[in-house]
Amino acid sequence: MSANEGSKVILIGFKKISGALITMSAAFFCNLLFFTPTNALFTPSLSTAVENNSAVDGKLPIHSANHLNEYSSTLKVEANLKAGYSVSMSTETNDTALSNPSGVKINSISSETAPTGILSNSWGYKLSSDSNYRPIPALSHPETIINTSGRIHGEQNYEINLGVFADSALVSGDYTNKIIFSVVASLYDKSAVMMSGPDFYNLFDQHEELGYRGYQHFKEASSLPDPSVKTFDIDEADSDYAIKMWYDENDDMTLYFYTTADKIYLNPDSSQLFKDANSADDLDLSKFDTSLVTDMTEMFNNVYTLSSLDLSHFDTRNVTSMKDIFNNDNALTDLNISSFNTSKVKDMSGMFNYCYGLTSIDVSNFDTSKVESMQSMFSGLSELTELNITNFDTSSVTNMHEMFGGLAQLTELDVSHLDTSNVTDMSGMFTDVGQITELNLSNFNTSKVENMSGMFSGMAAVTELNLSHFDTSAVTDMSSMFLGMSSLTNLNIHGFDTHNVTDMGGLFSQVSALDTIDISHFDTSNVEDMSNMFSGASSLTQINLGNNFNTEKVKNMSGMFKNATSLGQIDLTHFNTQNVTDMSSMFNNATALTELNLTLFDTRNVENMEKMFAGLQLTDLNLAAINTAKVTNMKEMFSGMNQLAHLDLSSFETNNLKEMSAMFQGMTALEELDILHFNTSQVDNMKNLFKDVSKVTKLDLTNFNSRKATDMTGMFDGMEALSDLKLGPDFSFEMANNLDYMFHNTYSLKSIDLGEVDIQKTFSLAGMFAIDDPSRDQLEKIYTTNEFKLTEYSYWQDHFKTQDDGTPGDGIKDVFKNRVKLRGGQGSHLENPSMATKDWFRFDNPPAQGYFTQKP
């Protein structure tokens, strides 16, 4: 042990009292003691100084006699220590008095004394935190006045007050003594401490010599490697011992570490330590002491090649976070955490998430009394067959989001003891726990829960669910709450308070065994999303919405009744749809509906009507009240309505329409279609627009503008009865990439007038005019005002060039297939029209034969 010493003398003087000048002085000495460091890694330091805050010209003046005078000094300690220090105080000798050369003294008080109790001609000291003054300690009995512990780095200041009571009769003169402050660094055991987990993790990104986390083994070496091997320091700055690490790819892809210390303390922040070591199958952790660790977040995250991990020696008494500690360790089949002390852990979210190799897990020793988040704690344990959490104290938990999500093999789960009084998030809590047939939630306190979205989604085996006791007054999100509960036949939600709910999207979606839903008591006044609310409820025959079903704030009704295939009627009389912007698939495939009264619908703000009525088997549909002024998407809007013979779209405004692909596809009963007023100047997709509208004989598209359409594939495909097709001057292919099967199976057309043809951006016309049955062919002429001139567009030549066997290229394959009556302007044709190569895409002008006729 070595000592550093220093001193600072401060004089204390008294001003004139009753005509006499009485002065006094005292000296303060500071002794500094600390151990010399044994290595160069951590260097302790200690220095100190005393500043007198009350001195005037080097003296401490008495302001008044017969009164306590107080003087403040500051002890300043500058330290870089691991275990703190202590400060003791005494006089230089056993004489604790302030003495005058003539022998007159101001004695120390003899016991702890209140400021008002100090007698004449006496003195004492106190720290700023003290209420009373203490006796001045003698050399033989020094007093420890300050004790610190733990890591100390930087300056610390301590205020020390001297109190002097001098009466007016005190003899003039100087009164002196010396006070010594001794500052001693505390002893500690030297240790090797590893760098923080994030710093260790980042090393692999910074140094390719470490193999980019590709190591298979992590273990201790018996000595340092040859000097030619590059090593890396992985010790913390304050470590007393060096810790070296290196990677040897040729030695079974091993990552070695070495230190002369008996053990290595893992850093308090050991988060991400082995994260993404996704080739590792052996981690030797026997050298590591985890007693200092507070953060184990993602410690073994994504080590998905590791099959066994024994952490029975881990000391986790100080750990506060185990978030994602084993997340995605999906090869893990053996995990020993039997010694885990979790008494301080606050975050267990994602702890075993996606460890789907585990078939069992023992958490019976877990103390969860301080845990606040169990989000996704057991999520994705798809092979787990048993889980016992009856010992869990969840009184502090606020987040149970997807806590048991994906426990696909679990057949029983006892959660009756869980204290949920502070939980605010239960979203996805039991999602995809698909084998459990019953769930006892009778003790659940849900008074603080705000999010129940997807809470029971995918619980496909549960047949009954009684939630009548649930307090849902704070819930704002019920989206997909019962999604996919396909065996549910009895659902009791009569106690639900929904006045704060804003999202009911998918609430009863795919509840396919339930035949009746009564939500007449629901307060939906704040709901903004009802998308897919009853979607896929295929056995539902009755929905009781009541008279107070309020949709005033709803913006999204997409898929609301989609695939509700047993629902015969829907009472829409109380629907307020003025704020709805999305009605896509709203009634899609609700095949049992016999009528649909939309007379009160206000669709002024709707932008999306994709598949709105697709698949309906209605024979009558009144759309007079439907406002389409803002609609941009009508894709498949009426697709598959194969019972509807008449469709009045005279009220439709399409100025903003961009997407109308397959809008009328499959309307096989439709006899006429008047869309002459449609503004299609913004439409970019007309694929399959009239596909299989097989009974319509006349179609007037003289006002159709297709100049922005990029896809016109199958536009008229399957219009078997169409005999009169009128196309206007703005019907253009100029932006179309694909014209495949555009007029496929248009058996009744005798001629097609395409007007001016511009196909510079078209890469495929395969089957454009083809038919399947040549016996029904009536097409004789195809008129254009100009030739296709395929060869002018060199960047598409690969699509159009003739194959080695003489057949057309893929881009023009079967364009005229089975068009046995088709002739060019001068009567040219092929016996097999499918063999028409690119040379036939021109006006017929023998000997230059072609299949097109120049428009007169």
Which DSSP string do the residues of 117-175 spell out, in sequence order?
GPPTTEEEEEETT-SSBBPPPPTTS-EEEEE--S-EEEEEEEEEEEEEEE-TTPPSS--
pLDDT score of 50? 79
Q: Give residue 658's pLDDT band: very low, low, confident or very high (50, 70, 90).
A: very high
Distance CA 484, CA 462 (A): 10
Which tens digit of pLDDT belongs to each residue from 327-381?
999 999 999 999 999 999 999 999 999 999 999 999 999 999 999 999 999 999 9
Helix (H) or strand (E) holding 202: helix 197-206
**Mean pLDDT along residues 809-830:** 96
Is pLDDT above 80 for 28?
A: no
**Token output for 131:** 């209420």
Q: What angle do CA 170, 176, 177 make, to 5 degrees?
A: 130
pLDDT score of 331? 96
pLDDT score of 299? 98
pLDDT score of 173? 73
Closest C-alpha among 350, 193, 354, 334 to residue 270: 193
**CATH-assigned architecture of domain 2-185:** Sandwich (2.60)
Query: Which residues fall within 8 angstroms of residue 822, CB to CB, at 6 or more apart?
Result: 769, 777, 779, 780, 781, 782, 816, 829, 833, 851
Q: Of the ranges 66-75, 458-467, 471-480, 560-569, which one carries the lowest mean pLDDT score?
A: 66-75
Neighbour tally for 331: CB within 10 Å:
16
Q: Give residue 589's pLDDT band: very low, low, confident or very high (50, 70, 90).
A: very high
Phi-psi region of 693 (alpha: psi -120 to 50; beta: other; left: phi over 0): beta
Q: What is the residue type of 62?
A: I
DSSP 675: -
**Token output for 777:** 């062919």
Q: How far is CA 472 from CA 430, 493, 508, in A?
A: 17, 10, 17
pLDDT score of 6? 34
Distance CA 564, CA 784 (A): 48
613 near 638, Cβ under 8 Å? yes
Peptide bond preceding 847 in cis form (omega within 30 of 0): yes
Q: How far is CA 235 from CA 207, 262, 433, 777, in A?
A: 16, 14, 45, 85
DSSP 751: E
* pTM of structure: 0.81
Distance CA 208, CA 229 (A): 13
Query: Which residues fall within 8 angstroms of residue 162, CB to CB, at 6 or more apart?
Result: 12, 60, 70, 71, 73, 123, 124, 125
The residue that leads in pLDDT, 619 or 212, is 619
**Token output for 67:** 């009164």
The whole-chain average pLDDT of the chain stands at 92
Neighbour tally for 360: CB within 10 Å:
14
Q: How far is CA 214 from CA 107, 160, 245, 246, in A?
A: 75, 59, 15, 13
Distance CA 688, CA 369 (A): 62
Q: Give residue 33's pLDDT band: very low, low, confident or very high (50, 70, 90).
A: low
pLDDT score of 8? 34
Q: Are strands 853-854 and 13-17 parallel, antiparallel or unpaired?
A: unpaired
Distance CA 440, CA 697 (A): 62
Which tens digit of pLDDT belongs to each residue from 199-209?
999 999 999 99
Distance CA 633, CA 826 (A): 44
pLDDT score of 166? 84
Residue 126's Cβ-count burial label (10 Å; 0-12, 13-18, 19+) is buried
Is pLDDT above 70 for 844?
A: yes
pLDDT score of 722? 98
**Token output for 833:** 């029209």
Place of tokens 């401060």: 10
pLDDT score of 60? 56
Is pLDDT above 80 for 424?
A: yes
Q: Give residue 763's pLDDT band: very low, low, confident or very high (50, 70, 90).
A: confident
Which tens digit of pLDDT belongs to each residue from 498-525?
999 999 999 999 999 999 999 999 999 9
Is pLDDT above 90 for 147?
A: yes
* Residue 510, CA atoms < 13 Å, CB-side half-sphere: 15
Q: For the chain, what are the domain ranges?
A: 2-185, 192-265
